Amino acid sequence: MIYGIIYHTDKEWLNYLKSNYRGGEFNFWTTRTTQLNAGDNIPLFFKTGDGKIVGMGELVRKEFLTVGEMWDKYGTMNAMGSKSELEERFSKYNKGEKEQVLCLILEDFAIFKNPIPLSLIDSEGMQVSKYIPDEKMLNTILRAAGIISTSGKEQTLNPDAIEPKFRKAFVNSRRFQGQLRKAALEYYGHRCLLCGIDIDDLLVVSHIKDVFLFPDDAGNPYNTLLLCRLHDGMFDRKLISIGNDNRIIVGNILQNSGSEKLQREVQELESTIIDKDLKESREFLEWHRAKMKYQHV
């Protein structure tokens, strides 16, 4: 199994995307071959000529395209401003216009605030690319970039390790959301904090402070709760909250509902005392209660 790949990256290609990437898919094309399978969804890290890992993208799929097909399909997201520039670059590799090359289609382009020296990992003999063979090496890179940090059993995700221009997109990326979900499932024991449902497919990572208002808190484990889909909907819309005594606060909209089934749910919620220590989340919950009071109570 391959957990990622480090690829030598052309400086002009990188600089173009730094200036022009606005989200969506982009094409990392290469004249080399690869062991990657079509369905591999792994990070591709960008290595520069000075021996540093400077950023990453997420592999979506691989394709084999001619230079014309590349331009027709991805345009400037080939990291070239015009088709003629792409053709000129293509010709430098002695490739004819009808010849297909490997295209690694990526998304979620991100540049690290602090580039990582390649010497941090075992890079002996690396020329153009290196496969990441295990999760340990992948986490070493992510920690060195500052994207993840660990304290005891808690893992924090740090979007501020990404250059500000790309931070919002990174928070919404599959890589970030997957790491966040993994950490929340572990922290909350794979069960809903409010009702104890323990089926992962029915559980949602719910932010206490809204991410679109506070993106720097997006990866803080204490700004997240693990809730079932019903209670996530209630919490997200500020219909319920949690007090300092770990009791559930139910707002007027739910209390005034004419639904007998919902009233039974309200009674159950109001009688529940959460058995998880939430002192580290107190600051975030204070904000949530204030928003709930302003909106609904």
Does one domain contain both 133 and 190?
no
Residue 222 burial (CB count, 10 A): 18
Interatomic CA distance for residues 249 and 253, integer angstroms: 12
Q: Rounded to two decimals, what is the model's pTM?
A: 0.77
Does one domain contain both 87 and 198?
no
242 found inside a domain: yes
**Domain count of the fold of the chain:** 2
User: What single letter denotes the amino acid at residue 77?
Assistant: M
Does one domain contain both 215 and 130?
no
Does one domain contain both 33 and 80?
yes
Token pair of 100 as six digits: 């297909």
Does one domain contain both 126 and 60?
yes
Q: Minimum mean pLDDT among 28-37, 155-164, 190-199: which range?
A: 28-37
Given a cut of 80, whether residue 118 has pLDDT beyond it is: yes
26 found inside a domain: yes
- DSSP 3-state of 120: helix
Interatomic CA distance for residues 264 and 243, integer angstroms: 20
Does one domain contain both 59 and 133?
yes
43-47 vs 4-8, strand pairing mode: parallel
155 found inside a domain: no
Does one domain contain both 15 and 128?
yes
Query: 41-96 pLDDT, tens per residue?
Result: 799 999 998 889 999 999 999 999 999 999 999 999 999 999 999 998 888 876 77
Q: Minimum mean pLDDT among 73-82, 127-136, 150-159: which range?
A: 150-159
Does one domain contain both 217 and 291?
yes
Q: Say what the pLDDT of residue 65 is.
A: 94
Does one domain contain both 253 and 195?
yes
Domain boundary among 93, 116, 145: 145
Does one domain contain both 194 and 267?
yes
Q: How far is CA 182 from the centre of its chain?
A: 11
pLDDT level of residue 216 (50, 70, 90 thresholds): confident
Mean pLDDT of 133-145: 91
Does one domain contain both 89 and 209?
no
CA angle, residues 65, 68, 69, in degrees to nearest 5: 40
Tell me if 9 sits within 8 A of 48, measured CB to CB: yes
pLDDT level of residue 175 (50, 70, 90 thresholds): confident
User: Among residues 170, 54, 53, 38, which one has the least CA distance to residue 104?
Assistant: 38
Interatomic CA distance for residues 82 and 186, integer angstroms: 48
171 found inside a domain: no
Output the furthest CA–CA distance in the chain (Å, rounded): 74
158 found inside a domain: no
139 found inside a domain: yes
Containing domain of residue 33, as a range?
4-145
Given a cut of 80, whether residue 18 has pLDDT beyond it is: yes
162 found inside a domain: no
Domain of 32, CATH number, reads 2.30.130.30
Domain boundary among 129, 145, 161: 145
Interatomic CA distance for residues 73 and 26, integer angstroms: 10
Interatomic CA distance for residues 21 and 251, integer angstroms: 43
Q: How far is CA 204 from CA 14, 159, 182, 228, 231, in A?
A: 35, 20, 11, 6, 9
Does one domain contain both 9 and 139?
yes
Which residues on neighbouring strands pair with residue 56, listed in sequence order?
45, 110
Q: Say what the pLDDT of residue 296 is.
A: 52
Interatomic CA distance for residues 246 and 241, integer angstroms: 10
Q: Say what the pLDDT of residue 122 is.
A: 66
Q: Minimum mean pLDDT among 10-19, 115-124, 222-231: which range?
A: 115-124
Interatomic CA distance for residues 267 and 255, integer angstroms: 9
Q: Say what the pLDDT of residue 297 is.
A: 47
DSSP 79: S
Give the E-state strand segments of the chain in sequence order: 4-8, 26-30, 43-47, 52-65, 101-117, 129-132, 148-151, 154-157, 203-207, 224-228, 240-242, 248-250
Domain boundary among 114, 145, 176: 145
DSSP 109: E
170 found inside a domain: no
